[in-house]
Amino acid sequence: MLCAIRFNKKKKLKLLALALPPGGYVEQRKSSYLPQASSQIPLRLQEIRGLIGPSQPPLPHGPRSLLPDQHLPHLVRKLGPLPAAPHQRLPPLHIHLQPPRRPLPSVSEWWKTVSLYTDQTGANISRSILIAGEYSDRLYSHGSHLTRLSIQEVIATAVKSKPFPVDHKNGIYLVLTATDVTVQDFCRAVCGFHYFTFASKVGYTLPYAWVGNSGKQCPEVCAYPFAVPGYMGGGGPGALRPPNGDVGVDGMISVIGHELAELSSNPLVNAWYAGEDPTAPTEIGDLCEGLYGTGGGGGYIGEVTRDGGGRTYNLNGRRGRKFLVQWIWSPTLKACAGPNALD
């Protein structure tokens, strides 16, 4: 599925979605998200709508970062066969990013850390995200294996489909793939990544991110801590129960948050990152991989909450939804931060 996110003049971000069947094409950048450790039902956009460290802080590099009146990258997603029982759906994270009122710690409070980042004019990233459109390709029109470049062909197909919105100034795209879609370097080196499309391939320069559902391929790598590597055996913590009952989907949610944060603060890979090598930047999500609560580090995710059903989470969303999402580097605290911090 492909979604597009935009900032409007009221500084609200619209998310456009493109739904793709398992088997699209994906392009990947060198620096990609991979967690420190890591009965699936294909992810659905309406569920995403319900959702959406190291000592060296990220610094502004390059000529620009995302302006508050610019849209965040569009969201592209590949879906597999839909489940017979659609009640198990991915909670829409971006909907939960909308500011008010829900129990704390909330997803919107988590996004406040991202909104602290500014461009060179001093304008902050928008506090609100909205879905502006979506596109689904359930026929695997680009195959069931994605490469680093072919994801752009998927996006190119989507942007030609009316009325899917295209906004090369204020939009972002998110590509989500189902459990039966294989992607170059998925599970081996990446769980998600963000980059931008080439005008020669798509017709526009569009910031985008890709995130895969690892439920049947490598949950112990990309859905940690809801699945744990075999080498941890009985010597480490057991797998935690996912808050929405789906290891693959719940694992995707944290990666989606990671990529949206980096996509908004570094849309063209020339803005906020740590280190001196722009070809392998360490961004605001990379700095806090594996940290979900106070005291986290060294394989320990930190202090999080467990509900009466044993499900683990650190953020509250709309309509009782709960999520486990990694922390983000705060430019003011100069440390990893999340709204569930105990200190």
Task: Report yes or no on 343 lying in a domain.
Answer: no
Residue 129 has what pLDDT? 81
Residue 58 has what pLDDT? 64
Ranges 9-18, 106-115, 203-212, 269-278: which has the least confidence: 9-18
pLDDT over threshold 70, residue 8:
no
pLDDT over threshold 90, residue 39:
no
- Summarize pLDDT for 250-289 with one digit per residue, the tens: 999 999 999 999 999 999 988 998 877 777 779 999 999 9
Counted domains in the chain: 1
pLDDT over threshold 90, residue 183:
yes
Residue 266 has what pLDDT? 93
d(CA 263, CA 257): 10
Task: Report yes or no on 90 lying in a domain.
Answer: yes
Pick from 172, 197, 175, 156: which is nearest to 14 by CA?
Answer: 172
Q: Which domain range does residue 23 map to?
A: 2-337
pLDDT band at 19 (very low <50, low <70, confident <90, very high): very low
> Among residues of the chain, what percentage have pLDDT more than 70?
70
Task: Report yes or no on 131 lying in a domain.
Answer: yes
Task: Report yes or no on 60 lying in a domain.
Answer: yes
Q: What is the b/e burial string over 191-207, where b = at least 16 CB atoms within 10 angstroms of the residue's CB?
A: bbbbbbbeeeebebebb
| pTM to 2 decimal places | 0.78
Q: What is the b/e burial string over 80-114, where b = at least 16 CB atoms within 10 angstroms of the residue's CB?
A: beeeeeeebbbbbbbbbbbeeebeebbbbbbbbbb
Give the residue, 55 or 236, on which the prediction is more confident. 236
Task: Report yes or no on 342 lying in a domain.
Answer: no
pLDDT over threshold 50, residue 169:
yes
Residues 6+ apart with CB under 8 A from 122: none
> Among residues of the chain, what percentage have pLDDT more than 90?
51
Ranges 238-247, 276-285, 325-334: which has the least confidence: 276-285
Task: Report yes or no on 51 lying in a domain.
Answer: yes
Task: Report yes or no on 277 lying in a domain.
Answer: yes
Task: Report yes or no on 37 lying in a domain.
Answer: yes
